[in-house]
Amino acid sequence: MGTVILGVNSAYHESSACILKDGVILGAVEEERFNRIKHAKCSRVDNADELPDRALAWALKSAGLKPNQVDHIAFSFDPDERLKANKDLHEKGVPTGDFGTPEGEETFHRHLHKAAAELKRRFPKAEFHFLRHHLCHAGSTFFPSRHEKAAVLAIDGIGEFNTTWLGIGEGNRLTPILEIPYPNSLGFVWEKISEHLGFDVYSGPGKVMGYACISDPIGEDTGVDYAERFRRVIRLTDSGFTVDNEVMRFRTRDFSGLEPLFGPRRPAIVDRYEEASIAAGLQTVTEEVFVHLARLLHKKTGLDALCMAGGVTLNCVANARILRETPFKYLHVMPAANDGGTAVGAAAYLWCHVLGNKSRPRLDHTYLGPEYTEAEIETALDTAGLKGVKSDDLPRQVARMVYDGKVVAWFQGRLEFGPRALGNRSILADPCRFDIRSRLNNKVKERESFRPFAPSVLLSDASRHLQIPSDLDGAEYMLLAVPVNEPRDAQRIPAVVQENGSTRVATSRPHVVRPEVNPIYARLLEEMKSLSGLGMVLNTSFNISEPIVCSPADAINCYKRSKMDALAIGPFLVSR
């Protein structure tokens, strides 16, 4: 029996669990997929001990392990470090008892220790380790990457106190170079501006990124240059960047510092170019920070490869600018760049850096979550009163439907780990139809009309319309926005390209599919190719305003209340 490490994240949100055995990732899943609450829980001072119960239970069961077989628990947060750095800040306007106040930080500290006590109780033979949050983000991207030595950049809202970590990974070691402290937080800027524009704090940043694409930073009504306004608040420095917290007022509900720059706080999302220009201004300055940090890191390391993680690195447009404008030749982004990924990072960091093992965990795909047997799927269909027809060639049948303009839900194999559906819990449509985009946004996904869609494309066809970099890493996980080859390519695949407001360059964030990684999905793309001449589908996550579906029952519920045409689940096809 080898060494079993259980990686756990529960400090803020995106609670998750990962099981690592002898340096091999056996499974990883976010609690939101089970409890059906987006991000699993809100970030509060008093709920760090709300553990990812079902994720933990699944991780253990799927690996065929009993609680007393866990040797180590790797927890992706350090409460003592947190308390020391935050309890004496005395920030203006922060409500007593909240993050950043002595009372709030004492409460947070207590609940983190409660989480540890409960984990020790459940796994009595395991040695418990609190690990610093950014080392876990850094560990989640570098150790599973293919690089023996790489620069590493972690950017999020906040860890214990730092918001950005720059360092170097070599073999089984991570070494810090520079850390940027709160309140200089790019993640928090995105959260606060999301709220200012009427989005919610958790799902907002992703939507604001899509919103930014439809305009440029110059306000249509006012002529204001919002990038310039953001540059007054976010400044590049020799040691990274600073954020003016007199304006942002993080940790308060006060938006008045933002009003002179960006107008009054919007009570709800306003679908106007003026607001989109504010988003575009933030996007522009975020890209400038990314490029600046990457150049800084390159200057200090002289390395070719950069590995990134942390919620802000889900920004596929900013990631692409690093590849385009800095000396780095290779860019690897952890597909679960959010806090969910720190469960993997904590386990990997413990295995490699703390325990000193030379072998590193691999991450060749994100299919690390639950899967279901044919019998389980059949039972779920029966229970729901749905008739599934067993198909002898499902990829072919589904490709035909998609080619004919149908929208088909696709449920196969193991659930993806991370926020992107990559062909196991996906909704598929024809990327060549212009009208499919508004149909999907308005009628199927019930979401804002400006939200973009991305394609899954066979590796062999990826470069036909898109400028795919030779290093595929980011392009395999929808983490890199790449331009079309020529303007007319945008007309060939109109449903999966965005015309970027500021540059008017059409881009797409592809999921490049290698047949050895997902054979049945690659087969479907081959069938698309035989029909349309192009091995590509539009791929959007299988959910409607909820976490991505996990079980057959989730899939069936989502399908039933949707306007999708069909559901391909395991070997079965259900049509309306």
Judged by beta carbon, residue 280 or residue 334, the one nearer Fe ion is 334
Q: Which stretch binds Fe ion (CB under 5 A): 14-22, 227-235, 338-346, 473-481?
A: 338-346
Name residues whose C-beta falls within 8 Å of residue 251's C-beta, 6 or more positions apart in sequence: 91, 94, 98, 99, 100
The encoded tokens of residue 471 equal 């290093």
Q: Which stretch binds Fe ion (CB under 5 A): 143-151, 296-304, 333-341, 535-543?
A: 333-341
Residue holding tokens 């407001």? 501
The encoded tokens of residue 365 equal 């795909």
Judged by beta carbon, residue 23 or residue 157, the one nearer Fe ion is 157
Judged by beta carbon, residue 191 or residue 339, the one nearer Fe ion is 339
Q: Which stretch binds Fe ion (CB under 5 A): 17-25, 332-340, 372-380, 391-399?
A: 332-340
CB of 134 to Fe ion, least distance (A): 7
Q: Which stretch binds Fe ion (CB under 5 A): 312-320, 339-347, 390-398, 443-451?
A: 339-347
Q: Which stretch binds Fe ion (CB under 5 A): 104-112, 122-130, 148-156, 502-510?
A: 148-156
Here's the x/- map for Fe ion, 291-310, by CB under 5 A: it reads as --------------------
CB of 80 to Fe ion, least distance (A): 18
CB of 542 to Fe ion, least distance (A): 25
| Chain centroid, CA 122 distance in Å | 29
Judged by beta carbon, residue 184 or residue 412, the one nearer Fe ion is 184
CB of 325 to Fe ion, least distance (A): 25
CB of 310 to Fe ion, least distance (A): 5
Among 285, 287, 233, 242, smallest CA distance to 262 is for 233
Q: Which stretch binds Fe ion (CB under 5 A): 72-80, 82-90, 150-158, 425-433?
A: 150-158
CB of 202 to Fe ion, least distance (A): 13
Dihedral, CA of residue 7, residue 10, residue 13 and residue 17, to nearest 10: 30
Rounded to 5°, angle at Cα 229 from 225 and 234: 140
User: What HEC string does 229-265 produce?
Assistant: HHHHHEEEECCEEEECHHHHCCCCCCCCCCHHHHCCC
Judged by beta carbon, residue 333 or residue 466, the one nearer Fe ion is 333
Among 567, 537, 540, 569, smallest CA distance to 427 is for 540
CB of 531 to Fe ion, least distance (A): 43
Q: Which stretch binds Fe ion (CB under 5 A): 66-74, 154-162, 224-232, 359-367?
A: 154-162
CB of 335 to Fe ion, least distance (A): 15
Judged by beta carbon, residue 185 or residue 518, the one nearer Fe ion is 185
Upper half-sphere CA count for residue 11 (Cβ side, 13 Å) = 30
Task: Using alpha carbons, list the distances in angstroms from residue 428 to 478, 508, 558.
Answer: 15, 16, 14
The encoded tokens of residue 333 equal 């982004």
Which of 50, 156, 191, 476 is the binder for Fe ion (CB under 5 A)?
Answer: 156
Helix/strand/coil for 494: helix
* Residues β-bridged to residue 539: 428, 454
**Contact between 339 and Fe ion (CB under 5 A)?**
yes
Name residues whose C-beta falls within 8 Å of residue 66's C-beta, 6 or more positions apart in sequence: 60
Contact (CB, 8 A) for 530 and 523: no
Judged by beta carbon, residue 156 or residue 461, the one nearer Fe ion is 156
Q: How far apart are CA 508 and CA 493, in angstroms?
A: 10
Question: Which residue number places its CB atom closest to Fe ion?
Answer: 156
Q: Which positions from 356 through 415 interact with Fe ion, judged by CB under 5 A? A: none
Judged by beta carbon, residue 105 or residue 216, the one nearer Fe ion is 105
How many chain residues bind Fe ion (CB under 5 A)?
Answer: 2
CB of 201 to Fe ion, least distance (A): 14
> Among the residues of 24-76, which ranges form H helices?
32-35, 53-62
List of residues contacting Fe ion (CB under 5 A): 156, 339
